[in-house]
Structure formats: structure tokens, C-alpha cells
Structure 1
Amino acid sequence: MSPCCWLALLALVPFALATNPGVKVKLTEKGIEYGKQIGMASLQQKLKTMKVPDLSGTERVAPIGKVKYSLTGITIVNLGLPYSALALVPDTGISLSITNAFISLHGNWKIRYLSFIKDSGSFDLEVNGLTVTDSITIKSDETGRPTVSSVNCVANVGSASIKFHGGASWLYNLFSVYVDKALRSALQKQICPLVADTITDMNPHLKTLNVLAKVDKYAEVEYSMVTSPTISNASIDFSLKGEFYNIGKHQEPPFSPTPFSLPHQVNNMLYIGMSAFTTNSAGFVYNNAGALSLYITDDMIPPSSPIRLNTRTFGAFIPEIAKRFPSMMMKLLVKTVKEPTIFFEPNNVTVQASGSVTAYAIQPNTTLSPLFVLNMEGSVSARLYVTGVKLAGAVTLNKIEMTLETSYVGQFQVRSLDNIFLMVLKVAVIPKVNARLEKGFPLPSIGKMNLVNTQLQVLKDYMLIGTDVQFTG
């Protein structure tokens, strides 16, 4: 488990010009508690690396007189952080507090007194009542990604008790009067720099944030922050751009995100609200890229179907086709004429699409002869779900309405072709759409982040993903 990634959830993305977000993210107290557990494990390991310097000197100790002493090979054998807390400071950052921490050390002692008497042995030292307070700030670096740093760290080592193995009882007087303070000071000076190092070690993990995530060869989605995070006593709320762009060409769509608010839910660590603006910006991008078009040929129709894409089938409804293009195969071009529109209503996702269908006869020399062009208004219902750290979906056809735009084979009743085109859409177009939707697109994520216990709700004008988080690797 990566011990650092969790704090990236506290600083998801960099600052940008303020605008309404397409995506909102809420980190709850449950998520902060998970982060604390990981962070404390990392800090504990870091503190165990403290190097306690050898201590030596010459002092007068009753009743012996002048004593030359040295404490060497001091190593940490145990360290505990039993009580720790992270608290949100509204509009400021995060406060860290550690109380009643303890350190167990082992080392060797050596003394010389009365000019010729030497003695030595080992000792065990218990340091108790260690406290640390610190503040964690979140800023944006020059690349537009977040960085965290430690400010106002204060450490205090409470008390120390020692047990000498071997030696006389007056050794304890030597320790309590001369060594105790120096030893605690040596430890105390190292704690805050190590706390700062632990926090700084998070920054390489923050750089894995997918501020601009590639979706496929056509699109990428941007999750940059549009305002500073809103920090309350109970959660941190982030406003992310949440907008799709054509790769290498960031063109704004002819519509803007509208304000929305996340409901007060606290059962999960993280809540991601994605507005209809984000999904509609995807439609705008794919339509601009020409990706919402599909040629349909007869080999895409199930062999068992009595309806074939040939002039014989269509000639039964439009005699001029059979007359002018006998015994020829056909090809259909289905494409959108503008970006589809996605509507979020409670427990319901609907996509409205405007398109066209152009029918061609395939000549023996493979030349395409246009037969007619239909305008098509269609509606599908969508089912959305989370897979891994992606949002995926599937659609089912609701209805289509077609009108004649152009005919090269005379006038005909478009309604007579309804069943044919319903079948073509269901067996050829919808499966292709679902195959693409099944691949999904990335959600905001950091490093090797996994989403668990995930639930998705569709609400008015946005969908809400509630999830817990685990980091691996």
C-alpha cells in the first residue's frame, strides 16, 4: 500500500480560473480517517530512522567525584504513536496532533573515574509523553499540480527513564542530572524534520494525479481545479473542470456548466458528482471528431434475419430501387448531425440524438450510388456504472422518428421502413455504441487508487458516485 497517496485526495488538482465546475468531489471524515491511518504508519517508519548521537562528557557525580562517561550505539528498538488525529481547519488546511507517543532505545555505556577505574555495560531507555503538532498546507506547484508542506511543527519529548545493566546505583544520578536533558534534546531536534520529510514525500505521488486523462485517440478529459477547495469541519469539497476535449485541440463547447450541489452524505470516504455538462462535452468532442458515424453493411446483420441490406429487400418498399439497381448489395451511413444531448433525471439517463441515414447501392465496380437520405431523431436510455476507476455505460433504444430529407429514387413512405431501421439500429449500431461505452473513461484518480464499495445514483442534472478508496503498491 502506498503510504502517501491519500493526501492527494486533499489537494486533488491545481488552481485555475474560477468557473462553474463540471465535477465535484467531496472527501468525508471517513476518508480523512483512512488517510490518517496510512499517514501514521508512514510517519512511524520515518521516525524509526532517527539517529541518536553518541553522548560523552566529564561531570562531577556524588559521591565519586569526576566521572568520564560515554553512551554509544544508541538504537531505537520500538516506537509507538498510539494517539493521533487529523483535523480540518476551515479555509486553512489540516492540523496534525500526536500525543503520548513513546520510544524504546538500547545502547551501551562506559565510565572512568578515580583516574583508573573503568566500568561498562548496556542500558535500556524509555522515552514517554512525546507530542507533536503540525499544520499541513496545500498549494499548487509550477506544473499546476498540488504540493503539500509542513508548517509550524512543534515537538516535545516528555520524560525519559533508564535502566542500566551493570554498574553502581550512582549511575542513575549521572543520567538524571547530566544525560537526560541532552538525550531528549537530541531526539526532539530530529522529530519535526522527519515529520516534514514524511509530508514532502507525498509530493511525488501527487504528481500522478490525472489532471489531463487520455480517453482514446479522439478525446481527453480535464480534471483541473476551478476554485480553491472548500474546507469545513467535516469535509473538503473540490470543484473540478470536468470537461472533455479533442486531443491537442481544446475548444470550448457552445454550452456551459450550471451550478449544482452535492447532497450531505457521509457513509463513504469519497463522493464524486459528475454533471450533465461533463458527459455532454464528451458528445461535443466526439461529434467534432467525426467519431459518431458508422457504415453498416449486410455482414453486420445476423444471418438468421430475413431482412438483408440489399436492393431486393428495400425494393419491396421502394420499387424504383429494385428497378434501377437490381440484385445489388447496399450500404448505410448512420451519423450524427450535431452533438447528442444527455439528460440526468432521478434514476434515469436519457440521450437525445439527431442524425441522418444515407442509403447507397453498391455497384459491381464497388461505386456507391446514393438512394436516399433520411433525417433521424432518436432516443436511448443509458445505464451507467463504475468499473475500476472508470465510468462506463450501456444504452438501449427507446424510439426513432425519421423523415425524408432527399430521395434519388422518387417519393416513398418513410414509415414503411421503420421496422427495417429499428432492426438495423438494434443489431448493428447499438452493439457498436455499447462496445465503446463498455471501455469507459477515467475518473479523477491518484496513483494506484482502487474504488471499493461503490454506488452510483442518478439525480437531477448530475450523477453521484459514492465510494471508499484503497491504495495498493
Structure 2
Amino acid sequence: MSQFVSDLTNILNLGLPKSQVRLVPGTGVSLSIGDAFINLHGNWRVKYLRIIQDSGSFDLAVSGLSISTTINRPMVSGVNCQAVVGSAKIRFHGGTSWLYNLFSKFVDQICPLVDEAIDDMNPHLKTLNVLAQVDKYAEIEYSMVESPVVSNSNIDLSLKGEFYNIGQHKEPPFSPNPFSLPPQDSNMLYIGLSAFTINSAGFVYNSAGALSLYITDDMIPSSPIRLSTRTFGAFIPQIAKQYPGLMMKLLVKTVKEPTITFEPDNVTLQVQSAVTAYAIQPKSTLSPLFVLNLNASVSAKIYVEGVKVAGTLTLNEIDMALAKSYVGPFDVRSLNNIILMVLKIMVIPKVNARLEEGFPLPAIGKMNLVNTQLQILKGYMLIGTDIQFTA
């Protein structure tokens, strides 16, 4: 908004000692000009409504000059522009009468110049990342879903905020829940990001098969515990008997999209996955050993980095059940500690490395977020921030 005033001021060559930009409920933006400082090239000058000529002077009083425009979607346009002189009185002291005509022509030019200033804003608005690619799997759409709502103090924009597979906009099997932002006035911009947005990301990555990871022994840090039939044979003797002295491989894969839940000051993630264990035969042939169904409860910490939202996960607890065994029945509780180790040391760090790269927030041009604060509320998170634009 301040950039609009600055552009308009430069175009009109006005200093605006009593100008005011305000929001008009249901309409858009209004710019009112009170006392004007107008530079006239030549012998005339106008300063705070007093015009002086070298060979004489006169007084000029103007009131009620206003400029109004309306914001549409998704670009700014001047639907309504009015430049009105509520009253004008000119008193001459040896001056010339052509100044009245000059002032009338100046008023007639205000709306065309406003339209020009508005047109100059649209290239900046076009930089809004309405569809931003996240990585090779996903893109996020921030298109407007309805016209802006203008009140006395703010402009509310309803943006879609949904992840899609690249080139395939398939809706997830769940719908967003409506929410409203609480009254806030300490920051320039507030963004509400619902649980639906995060969950749509889970749906996209799960559909793309990206939420799977093979775990091999060379991924395990230095430890006496190795990913081998000897290690697992200590818990499941049948494995050591049928496949002695072989290395193993684990496949950890989600079976449905993860579900995130926002509660005040608390973010949890429920993940349903399967762990399939293989013995690696000569020539790298894989022999399946067992399949575990795994439900995991994960805590999440979410933060804003630059113009991206990022996060880290911490594993809380797991619940395992035997889905299928190729080596006969066994007690899955005996594997609890070793599966926990695999998840904490190898799976969670891999996921966190991706989450720390972040996902783009809606932004215009070279916009930086400063003094940013994030609150976790029921069903959504609230980001309050100030904005800086760089050239």
C-alpha cells in the first residue's frame, strides 16, 4: 500500500503532507489528498495552497479532493476513480486568470494518472507464486478462491494452499475445515496455514511413492549391532537357521498418507507404515523374511525460515503387529528396540533433512519476512510477520 502511495506521489509530482490511504469496507482502497504541495515549472509555485507570483499573489482554497479505486482479483484495477473539488476559491492580487484553467486541467488528469500508477503495480502482483514447484514430486497452489474481503483495517485474501503431484491435480480423499483468524494488529501480515495444507502434502508424497526408504547395513553408524541375519537371529532363531551369515535390507514404506493434527501449542503426526525385512542372497537376490505393520506417533516442531515453512520430527512411540512371516511365527515385541533404533537413527534424520529445506509460503517479488512469530492453534497455525521488499 505504501508503495502505491509512493508511486502515485512521484507520478503526480505531489508532496502529500495531509494525504491518507484507507481501506473502504467492501470496496477497496481510498486515497485522500488534503493540502497539496504542487511544483509548477516557471515563475509560479504552489506551497500549502498558497500560490505566489513574482509580480503579485493570490490565495487558493481547496477541500474535498479524493481518489478512490477498487481492488479486484487477481489483479488491481481502478473500477471507480473520482477526483472532485468540493470547493475552490481563487483570489487574485495582480496575477493572471489562466491559473484557474490550469488547475481545472490538473484535476482532470488525476484519474488517468491513478490508472497508470495502478497498472504499474500489476507486474509486481504477477510475481505471486500462485503455483510454485516444491521438488520433483510436488507443487503447491496458492490461487485465490474468492474475491478479497475489505474491512476498515485489513484486506483478507482466501488462498487455496494445496499440494498437488506435478502435472496431476488430484484431490485428496479429505476436505479442508473452515477456520477464521483471530483479531491481530501487531504485525503487517498474518498467514493462517491449515492442517489440510500439510495433509495434502502427505497425500501427494505418498501417492508419488516418495515416502519409502530402503535401509542397508552401510547406513548404520559404527555399532556392534549390524543389519544381518545373525543380529535378527538372536531374536528370531528361525532366521539364523534358514539364512545363516547373510546381510539384510529393510524397506520402510507408508501404507497411507500421514495425518497431522494441530492443537494449541502441539503438533502431532500419525504415520501408518509397513516394514519389510529381506535377507540378501548371493548375486543380491532378496528373500523376504517378514512384514510388520507399524503405527508411529511423532511430534513436530514447525518454524518459518526466510519465506518458507520448515520443520523437524521427533519419534514418540510405535505400535507393531506382525502382518506376515516367511520364517514362522514369532513375538514381534522382541524386535521393538531394534526397530526403534532403525527409525530414530536412519529414518527420522532422512525425513528431517527434507523438512528442513522448507516449503514456499505465498510471496510477491523479493519479499523478506521479518519479526516473524508462529502460533499453533486448533486446526491451523498462525504466522504473524512484518515485510521488507528488496530491489
Percent sequence identity over aligned pairs: 66
Equivalent-residue separation in structure 2 for 1:406 and 1:183 (angstroms): 90
1:114-138 per-residue CA deviation (whole Å, 9 max, x = no partner) reads xxxxxxxxx2422544774222212
Q: In structure 2, what is the Cα distance between the partners aligned to 1:419 and 1:159? A: 89
The question of whether the paired residues in 2 share the 8 Å contact of 1:127 and 1:159 is answered with no
Tell me the distance in 2 between the aligned counterparts of 1:91 and 1:291. Answer: 45
Q: Verify: 1:256 aligned to 2:185, yes or no.
A: no
The alpha carbon displacement at 1:410 in A equals 1.4
User: Residue in 1 aligned with 2:348?
Assistant: 430
Name the CA distance, whole Å, in 1 between partners of 2:111 and 2:157. Answer: 29
More strand per residue: 1
Deviations 1:166-212 (CA, angstroms, capped at 9, x unpaired): xxxxxx73xx2333223323433333322221112111111111111
Question: What is the rounded CA distance, in whole Å, between the counterparts of 1:229 and 1:151 in structure 2?
Answer: 17
- The residue aligned with 1:361 is 279
Aligned partner of 2:310 in structure 1 is 392
Q: Please state how far the C-alpha of 1:355 moved relative to its aligned partner.
A: 0.5
Change (3 A) 1:148 1:307: farther
Which of 338, 356, 362 is matched with 2:256 structurally?
338
Report whether the alignment pairs 1:47 with 2:12: yes
Tell whether 2:225 aligns with 1:307: yes
Write the letter of the residue equivalent to 1:125: R
Hey, what does 1:133 align to over in structure 2? 66
On the 8 A contact 1:126/1:160 being kept in 2, the answer is no
Letter of the 2:7 counterpart? S
For the residues of structure 1 that align with 2:12 and 2:141, how far apart are their CA atoms?
Answer: 38
Larger Cα Rg: Structure 1 or Structure 2? 1
CA-to-partner distance for each residue in 1:295-343, whole Å, 9 max, x for gaps? 011111111x221111111111111211222221111000000011101
Equivalent residue, structure 2, for 1:95? 30
- Any residues of structure 2 matched to 1:231-310 within 5 Å, and which? 231-303=150-222, 305-310=223-228
- The letter of the residue matching 1:378 is A
> What is the 5 A alignment of 1:373-388?
373-388=291-306
Higher relative contact order (CA 8 A, sep 6+): 1
Q: 1:456 aligns with which of 367, 371, 374?
A: 374
The runs of 5 or more residues in structure 1 that have no matched partner are 1-34, 49-78, 108-122, 163-171
Aligned CA RMSD, in angstroms, stands at: 2.0
Q: Name whichever of 462-471 and 317-326 sits farther off.
A: 317-326
Taking structure 1 as reference, are residues 103 and 160 closer, same or farther at Cα in structure 2, changes over 3 Å only?
A: farther
Give secondary structure in 1 for the equivalent of 2:282.
Answer: coil
Ranges in structure 2 where 5+ consecutive residues have no aligned partner: 50-61
Distance 1:161 1:190 in 2: 24
Q: Which amino acid in the other structure matches residue 23 of structure 2?
A: L
For residues 215 and 108 of structure 2, the distance between their equivalents in structure 1, rounded to whole angstroms, comes to 73
Q: How far apart, CA to CA, are the structure 2 residues paired with 1:426 and 1:373?
A: 19
TM-score, normalization by structure 1: 0.76
Deviation for aligned residue 1:462: 0.8
Q: TM-score, normalised by structure 2?
A: 0.91
Question: For the structure 1 residues 213 and 224, does the alpha-carbon distance in structure 2 shift closer, same or farther, using more than 3 Å as the test?
Answer: same
Is the Cα–Cα contact under 8 Å of residues 335 and 355 in structure 1 kept in the other structure? Answer: yes
Aligned length: 377
8 A contact 1:242–1:278 mirrored in 2: yes
Correspondent of 1:154 among 83, 88, 98: 83
> Counterparts of 2:229 and 2:158 in 1: how far apart (Å)?
55
Residue 201 of structure 1: aligned partner: 120
Q: Which amino acid aligns with 2:195?
A: A
